[in-house]
Each structure stands twice: as structure tokens, then as C-alpha cells.
Amino acid sequence: MNEKIQNRYAFSIDLLKKAGGIALSYYLNRNQLTIECKKGDKQDQVSIADKTVEAKLREAIAEKFPADGFLGEESGYAGLDSEFCWIVDPIDGTSPFLNGLYAWCISIAVLYRDEIVIGMVFDPLHNELFHAKLGAGAYLNDLPIHTLDPAENVQDGLVGLGMSHRVPPKTILPFLEQLLSEGGMYVRNGSGALSLAQVAAGRLLAYYEPHMNCWDCAAGMLLVREAGGMANNILANNGLLKGNFVLAAANQSTYQQLDLMRTI
Ligand code: IPD
Ligand code: CA
Ligand code: CA
């Protein structure tokens, strides 16, 4: 089994670097992109960049591992009952991407049955590839990474927050109030996947978002766990298709402190 996982791990590293080059060239020419809104939400946009990157990834994965399942934000799913299943967000942080900001990435996770065994987040702008394999630790390019240490409470670092119009404001406002009341501070960069990778790298203390889809966070959650942190199970309660809340933190004590601030 480990060999099958390792084959997919090595393949994903090369694949992400190639896909990152394509995404970066779209980003550098973003003024030429036609932008569409999803489901009438002007804050939820998509362009040919998202669709092309996902199509290239899907094609390459199907060619190399034809029996594997696939779930992608832009093209949907097939073969979810396969032994291995790939979960892809071709551009996480589409809004920063299209607005010329700096937090966007490509996120790929691989499930072996119901477990995330590979998680990779590539930030082409900074040439940072965060990668983790279940039980083998987390890395940023060639170096091992660890969650923030020491971190005893929410005052010891920055908490990344995410929000979308999929859920109402009341799902985050009490959390924010509690965080600030307890002396914590938040940042929101617009890419949940990259924020989770930054928790893994010890740059952020934690990340919270009331609802994310699996493609936004499966890779980042494995990265955090493999870097020594704690994250909830995104796959619980049919999370693969419906999504879930996401809480990831540097360690158990900060996780528990933040968990008490959640309303959902
Ligand atoms: C979004 C980003 C954002 C998060 C949203 C996601 P997208 O993904 O990760 O930071 O707050 O929940 O939907 O649309 O940029 O791929
Ligand atoms: Ca996303
Ligand atoms: Ca996306």
C-alpha cells in the first residue's frame, strides 16, 4: 500500500509544479480573463484559469491512475468508491488571484478509502510547495515544517479566518467577538487552503471557517496534522460532498480553546 501512496505522492509533486506554471501565466495576464459569477454570487467567481488548470490535472491523473476517483471544484466527481480518490481545487483563492493579490494556490489531496493520505498545496507566486504524506511528516519544499511552538493560548499567534456567502454572518460573528475578547487577533488572506498550509508551517497559530468544501481544505488539514497540529475531520457527516466547518490549530490546547468559540 505504501508503494501505491508513494507513487501518487511523487507524481503529485511534478504535476503540481507543471500546473502551477500554467496558473501563474494566467495570473500574470489576468486582465485578459473573462470572469463569471457562480450562482449569482459576485464574490464567488471563476475564469478559464480555474477550468483549464483543473482539466489539465484531471487529464494527467486519469492517464496515470485510470482506476482512481476524482472530485474537483470545477468539473465535479466520478468514481468516489474507488480505492484512491483525488480531491482538487485548481485555484484556491480565486478572488485574490483575479484581483492581483498574493494569496492563492493549487490544492490536491488523495484519499485512500476514507482517509486523507496525501495533502499538497502549491503557491506558485512564492515557489512554495507544502506537502505531506500520512505518517511521514509535513514539508515546505525540502525542509520539514512544524506548527507554532510555543503556543499556549490564542494570544500567542495570529488566527486565520475564512468566510463565504454559503453560510450566514451569524456563523462567524460570535467567534470573532470571542477571539478578540480573549486577546487574540485574526487575518483573512482569501485562500483557506494556503492559510491551512501556513498553520502547518507555524506562520499562523490556527485557522477557522464555518463552512468549507472538501477541495478547499482536505490537503491543508493533513498538512496541519502531519506538522504536529490538530484539525477536525472534514469527512464527517458526508463532508466529502457537503463540506463542514474547519478548525485547525497548532496543538491540542489552542484547538480546544478555539473550539469553545465556535457556534457551528
Ligand atoms: C474559497 C477560499 C476562501 C474561503 C472560501 C473558499 P475559492 O475558495 O478558500 O478563502 O473562505 O470558503 O470557497 O473559491 O477561492 O476556491
Ligand atoms: Ca477553494
Ligand atoms: Ca477554487
Domain ranges of the chain: 2-144, 154-263
Q: What is the percent of the chain where pLDDT is above 90? A: 91
CATH number belonging to domain 2-144 = 3.30.540.10
Nearest-CA residue for atom 16 of ligand 1:
92
CATH class of 154-263: alpha beta
Pocket test for ligand 1, best of 216, 245, 264 (most atoms within 8 A of CB): 216
Tens-place pLDDT, residues 48-85: 899 999 999 999 999 999 999 999 999 999 999 999 99
Task: Tell me, in angstroms, the distance from the centre of ligand 3 to residue 85's CA.
Answer: 18
Ligand 1 probe mutation, 39, 94, 164, most atoms within 8 A of CB? 164
- 191 in contact with ligand 1, CB cutoff 6 A: yes
Cα–chain-centroid distance for residue 36?
22
Task: Note the pTM of the prediction, 2 decimals.
Answer: 0.97
Q: Is 249 in the pocket of ligand 1 (CB under 6 A)?
A: no
Q: What is the 207 CA–ligand 2 centroid distance (Å)?
A: 14
Q: How far is the CA of 1 from the centre of ligand 1 (A)?
A: 32
244 CB within 6 A, ligand 1 = no
Do residues 222 and 116 lie in contact, with contact meaning Cβ atoms separated by under 8 Å? yes
State whether the beta carbon of 94 lies less than 6 angstroms from ligand 1: yes
Give the pLDDT band (50/70/90) at residue 31: confident
Distances, alpha carbon 153 to alpha carbons 53, 150, 161, 186, in Å: 39, 9, 17, 14
* pLDDT one-digit tens code per residue, 119-161: 999 999 999 999 999 999 999 999 999 999 999 999 999 999 9
- Which DSSP string corresponds to the chain? -HHHHHHHHHHHHHHHHHHHHHHHHHHHTGGG---EEETTEEEEEE-HHHHHHHHHHHHHHHHH-TT-EEEETTTEEE-TTSSEEEEEEEEE-HHHHHTT-S--EEEEEEEETTEEEEEEEEETTTTEEEEEETTS-EEETTEE----SS--SGGGSEEEE---TTS-GGGTHHHHHHHHHTT-EEE--S-HHHHHHHHHTTSSSEEEEEEE-HHHHHHHHHHHHHTT-EE--TTGGGHHHH-EEEEEESSHHHHHHHHTT---
